[in-house]
Homo-oligomer: A and B are copies of this chain.
Amino acid sequence: MAITIKDVAQEAGVSVASVSRALNGHASITDDTRKHILAVVKRMRYMPHVGARSLTTSFTNTIGVLLPDLYGEFFSEMIRGIDGAARRRGLHLMVSSLHGDADEAALAIRAMRGRVDGLLVMSPHVDAAFLSDNLPEDLPIVLMNTAAGGTQYPSISVDNYNGAHAMVAHLVAGGYRRIAFLAGPSGNFEAQERLRGYRAALSELAPGAAEHVYEGDFSEQSGQAVGQALLEMDAGRRPDALFAANDMMAIGALLTLKQGGLRLPQDMALAGFDDIPIARYVSPALTTVRVPIADLGVRALESLVAKIGQPGSVPASAQTLGAELVARASTGESTPT
């Protein structure tokens, strides 16, 4: 068994209360005794048992983070943002992936009880009903990139609609007219918003143009499949631009189209969404919409902290972060990198 506060108290010849006070910088303790106690603490290498402490103080200095999956650049960026913001406030992170079904998600949420001061959740499987069923009622929570919260929980997400809208505008401005869209999984809220943006912009900015929507699932493979389908099309009927709902699909299509002998962007322009790091490195470099993922994490953590600070008083707001168009060579921009 490790060293406890009692051991320290005994060794220093004082009461546990004094040790506690010395450690927490509490009032009314002589400088002499404080120094003496701290010396003993150091000598014995005592470190408080955080769990025990949080039992009485009821705060843990820890934030729980639930993400759908811990894979890929998106996740990595998100955690980076959250971690940076958390460390700035001296908070720790407890992360959990949710990639199982709803039951597993429920389990993960329960496991957080008593260990965290608040929860950051991003999950396609989670909706408001599920949350109110499984959440300890008094646990502050902020949702990310989801429509699930309704008005009940605060959420913060990226402006997928306007990002997609801006991309279509960019393509139209570049002279492209037969603009196809490679959609994400239909159940996914972000994918829906991006599709909605595409449709609205198209009917608004290129009134005559027809919609061409391909189904995809955000994977590189589905990009390759659509690339293949496009290659096999009659060149006259082929779209002159393909806008994929995320970068990975765009890259899959890019590789397939290039391999099939198409010149990009002369034969077909290509655009993605997310601006994952790879986007800059493929050739031609991929035009995309930059999603401020790390920022999203930072903001989410910050609103969570605010909510923890004043429980109940903050109404459930839905913040939106702007997404910025990044024009690169795949839609004809000359600038490299």
| A114 & B49 in contact (Cβ 8 Å cutoff) | yes
A50-B278 contact, Cβ under 8 Å, with A76-B70, A76-B72, A92-B96: no
> A28 → chain B, closest Cβ, in Å?
26
Contact of A95 among B49, B93, B138, B251 (CB under 8 A): B93
* CB <8 Å contact, B97 and A83: yes
Which of A14-22, A31-39, A52-60, A189-197 interfaces with chain B?
A: A52-60
* Alpha-carbon distance A76/B72, docked complex (angstroms): 6
B70-A80 in contact (CB<8A) = yes
Shortest C-beta distance, A284 to chain B (Å), equals: 10
Task: Tell me if A1 counts as interface (CB < 8 A to partner B).
Answer: yes
B1 near A138: Cβ-Cβ < 8 Å = yes
Within the complex, what minimum Cβ distance (angstroms) separates A183 from chain B? 23
* B93/A94 in contact, CB under 8 A: yes
Please, which residue of chain B has its CB at the minimum distance from the CB of A72?
Answer: B76
With contact pairs A52-B114, A55-B51, A281-B281 given, residues A255 and B94 touching in the complex (Cβ less than 8 Å) = no
Interface contact A115-B281, CB-CB below 8 Å: no
The answer to whether A115 and B83 touch across the interface, beta carbons within 8 angstroms, is no
Question: What 1/0 flags go to A217-249 for Cβ under 8 Å of B?
Answer: 000000000000000000000000000000000
Q: Give every chain B residue within 8 A of A320 (Cβ-Cβ).
A: none
Nearest chain B CB to A20's CB is how many angstroms away?
Answer: 15
A58 and B115 alpha carbons, distance in the complex (Å): 15
Chain B residue at minimum C-beta to C-beta distance from A251:
B281
A75 within 8 A of B: yes
Task: State which of B49, B73, B83 has its C-beta within 8 Å of the C-beta of A76.
Answer: B73
| A138 touching B76 in the complex, CB below 8 Å, given contacts A113-B48, A336-B259 | no
Inter-chain contact A79/B83, CB cutoff 8 Å: no
Query: Which residues of the partner chain B approach A2 to less than 8 Å between Cβ atoms?
Result: 113, 136-139
- CB of A89, distance to nearest CB on chain B (Å): 13
A111 touches B (CB below 8 Å): yes
- Within 8 Å of chain B (Cβ to Cβ): is A282? yes
A138: chain B residues at CB < 8 Å are 1-2
Chain B proximity of A240: nearest CB distance (Å): 23
The answer to whether A337 has its CB under 8 Å from any CB of chain B is yes
- Cβ of A26 under 8 Å from chain B: no
* Residue among A49, A50, A51 with the highest chain B CB neighbour number at 10 A: A51
Q: Knowing A80-B71, A115-B115, A137-B2 touch, does A51 contact B54 (C-beta < 8 A)?
A: yes
Interface mask (A60-80 → B, CB under 8 Å = 1, otherwise 0): 111000000011110110011
Residue of B nearest to A69 (CB): B80
A 95-138 to B, binary, CB cutoff 8 A, 1 in contact else 0: 11100000000000011011100000000000000000110111
CB distance from A56 to the nearest CB of B (A): 10
Q: Is the CB of B70 within 8 A of A79?
A: yes
Q: Indicate which residue in B45, B73, B94, B133 contacts A92 across the interface (CB closer than 8 Å).
A: B94
A to B CB contacts below 8 Å, 12 in the list: A1-B138, A2-B136, A45-B133, A50-B113, A51-B60, A62-B115, A70-B79, A70-B80, A83-B97, A278-B278, A281-B282, A282-B283
- With A2-B139, A47-B110, A283-B283 given, name 16 new contacts (CB 8 A): A2-B136, A45-B133, A45-B136, A51-B51, A51-B114, A55-B55, A62-B115, A70-B76, A71-B76, A79-B79, A83-B95, A92-B96, A94-B95, A95-B95, A278-B281, A282-B282
